[in-house]
């Protein structure tokens, strides 16, 4: 007969935290959100840690280089989606590694034969008044000059003037050479009273621009997640089919960490993929998953996974449970796997961090997942709502939204993640995800600041200054369905609806 678990499968909303004693030093400013992401031996430290316990989902609608840069600057990590050609995924990784805070790729460029009308049009469209003039009109072409609003007077011109005639030409420009440090660039900006400094390589090709305001912003990011060369950290998703080609290309692009992206990680394909990476690239950390039980955890732990992702069927866009009847409530899955991880640690002295992936709806769910034992979280819907996610903002039915689709939807066609396909073109035999909208929520930083403030406040209420302490000392209680009603505003007429994620 089949094994029937005695435990129910439960979600985060079915639990609450009971506060512990809050000592006087237990204030948000003292909370340390650093958390390990790679397996380590007892008494040692993980070679890689996150500064905040958040990663972004391995999804087309979430993790491209733009989101990866924004999240790493706040202390988290993105795994660039793998459901794209190897070359374009590697290029996204490269873009993140090349990113230098304060050095931005110029997005307003023209050729020298463009006209003032073109300058005005570009200014209207982008809101930027600095235009780089390059030989081929691209962002990395040979720099011939720069046009700023100080170079022309619209009232005295008719619009047909040629840019080459009124730009500040290269030989009169103040510029920096590639390799210059940000603080040196900033000194030049101040000494010459500039708003921006073009940076060029030895062939005088434009590398990027350092803007005065961006340099200041850089100073506001003390949590940035950086490698030894002070470059942002970035991860990438891989699959169990083309890893022999994909992994070397990603390593060549200097990826920092890999994660096998699979809806069901308890498989021999996953074992082989982990073994391959561990044998050929022992220095590159790699995570496995997803699993929801102790057997799945052990299998991947023994296969060499550096971290293990937990969650099947809980994602906001996910219909796996309806389609295949597999999965487990996310809260229960995290509890089961956390227990397996602790047992494994007690037995072997090796700690393997676990990641709660999917199903986080409210910010407080993040606190619950960590309290239940997750070392860090993976979020899709949460990040899809922000400016930095790869999709366009739209106005639909009276509200601003962004598109968000599952990797198992026919739109993403990520058959490698699901292992079933109907044709060689990559169509799925059936869908496991939906195509949807999420409410647009603004910038990543402004939202993350609020979320982290809530997380720190919860940890303080529970008397914890570190995630490890929070995991070990939290007390959780199950809630009845009637007490859930009590938890929101009730029996009053609210004046305005509260903005929730």
Active site residues: 318, 417
Contact assessment for residue 369 and residue 471, using Cβ atoms and an 8 Å cutoff: no
Q: 378 burial class (0-12, 13-18, 19+ CB within 10 angstroms)?
A: buried
Phi, psi (rounded to 5 degrees) for 486: -60, -25
Per CB under 6 A, contacts with ligand IMP among 310-339 are: 311, 315-318, 320
Measuring CA to CA, how many Å separate 467 from each of 34, 309, 371, 451?
A: 7, 18, 8, 15
Per CB under 6 A, contacts with ligand IMP among 199-218 are: none
Query: Measured from the CB atom, is 108 or 330 closer to ligand IMP?
Result: 330
Rg (CA), the chain: 25
**Which one of residues 256, 293, 357, 388 is an interface residue with ligand IMP (CB under 6 A)?**
357
Q: 341 burial class (0-12, 13-18, 19+ CB within 10 angstroms)?
A: buried
CB of 7 to ligand IMP, least distance (A): 22
Phi, psi (rounded to 5 degrees) for 415: -65, -25
CB of 84 to ligand IMP, least distance (A): 14
Query: Measured from the CB atom, is 154 or 326 closer to ligand IMP?
Result: 326
Binding flag, residue 259, ligand IMP (CB under 6 A)? no
Cα-Cα-Cα-Cα dihedral sign, residues 293, 294, 297, 298: negative
Q: Which stretch binds ligand IMP (CB under 6 A): 250-258, 352-360, 365-373, 466-474?
A: 352-360
Per CB under 6 A, contacts with ligand IMP among 394-413 are: 406-409
Q: Give dist(CA 430, CA 329) in Å, integer.
A: 23
Query: Measured from the CB atom, is 182 or 369 closer to ligand IMP?
Result: 369
CB of 106 to ligand IMP, least distance (A): 34
**Which one of residues 57, 210, 225, 354 is an interface residue with ligand IMP (CB under 6 A)?**
57
Q: 358 burial class (0-12, 13-18, 19+ CB within 10 angstroms)?
A: buried
Query: Measured from the CB atom, is 211 or 382 closer to ligand IMP?
Result: 382
Binding flag, residue 74, ligand IMP (CB under 6 A)? no
Binding flag, residue 33, ligand IMP (CB under 6 A)? no
SS3 483: helix
Binding flag, residue 391, ligand IMP (CB under 6 A)? no
Binding flag, residue 360, ligand IMP (CB under 6 A)? yes
Q: Which residues contact ligand IMP by CB under 6 A? A: 57, 59, 263, 311, 315-318, 320, 357-360, 378-382, 406-409, 432-433
């Amino acid at each position: 007969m089949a094994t029937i678990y005695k435990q129910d499968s439960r979600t985060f909303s079915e639990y609450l935290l009971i506060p512990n004693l809050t000592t006087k030093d237990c204030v948000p400013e003292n909370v340390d959100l650093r958390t390990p992401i790679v397996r380590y031996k007892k008494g040692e430290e993980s070679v890689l840690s996150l500064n905040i316990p958040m990663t972004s989902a391995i999804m087309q609608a979430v993790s491209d280089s733009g989101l990866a840069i924004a999240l790493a600057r706040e202390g988290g990590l993105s795994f660039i989606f793998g459901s794209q050609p190897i070359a374009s995924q590697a290029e996204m990784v490269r873009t993140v590694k090349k990113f230098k805070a304060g050095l931005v790729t110029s997005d307003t460029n023209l050729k020298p034969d463009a006209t003032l009308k073109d300058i005005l049009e570009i200014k209207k469209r982008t809101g930027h008044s600095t235009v780089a003039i390059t030989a081929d009109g691209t962002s990395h072409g040979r720099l011939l000059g720069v046009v700023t609003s100080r170079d022309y007077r619209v009232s005295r011109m008719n619009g047909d003037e040629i840019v080459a005639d009124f730009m500040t030409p290269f030989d009169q420009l103040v510029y920096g050479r590639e390799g210059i440090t940000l603080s040196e660039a900033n000194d030049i900006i101040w000494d010459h009273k500039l708003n921006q400094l073009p940076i060029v390589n030895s062939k005088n090709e434009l590398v990027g621009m350092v803007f005065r305001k961006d340099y200041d912003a850089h100073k506001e990011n003390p949590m940035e997640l950086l490698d030894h060369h002070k470059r942002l950290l970035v991860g990438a998703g891989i699959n169990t089919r083309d890893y022999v080609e994909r992994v070397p290309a990603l390593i060549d692009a200097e990826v920092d960490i890999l994660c096998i992206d699979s809806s069901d990680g308890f498989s021999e394909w996953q074992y082989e993929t982990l073994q391959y990476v561990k044998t050929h690239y022992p220095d590159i950390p790699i995570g496995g998953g997803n699993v929801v039980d102790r057997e799945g955890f052990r299998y991947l732990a023994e296969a060499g996974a550096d971290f293990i992702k937990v969650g099947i069927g809980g994602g906001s866009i996910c219909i796996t449970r309806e389609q295949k009847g597999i999965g487990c409530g996310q809260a229960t899955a995290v509890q089961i796997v956390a227990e397996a991880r602790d047992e494994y640690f007690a037995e072997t002295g090796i700690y393997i961090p676990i990641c709660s992936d999917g199903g986080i709806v409210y910010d407080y769910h993040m606190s619950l997942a960590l309290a239940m034992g997750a070392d860090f979280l993976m979020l899709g819907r949460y990040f899809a709502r922000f400016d930095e996610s790869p999709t366009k903002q739209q106005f639909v039915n009276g509200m601003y939204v962004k598109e968000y689709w599952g990797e198992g939807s026919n739109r993403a066609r990520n058959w490698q993640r699901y292992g079933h396909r109907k044709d060689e073109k990559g169509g799925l035999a059936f869908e496991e995800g939906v195509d949807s909208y999420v409410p647009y929520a603004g910038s990543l930083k402004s939202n993350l600041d609020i979320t982290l403030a809530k997380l720190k406040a919860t940890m303080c209420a529970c008397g914890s200054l570190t995630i490890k302490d929070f995991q070990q000392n939290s007390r959780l209680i199950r809630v009845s369905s009637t007490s859930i009603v009590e938890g929101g505003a009730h029996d009053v007429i609210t004046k305005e609806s509260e903005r929730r994620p």
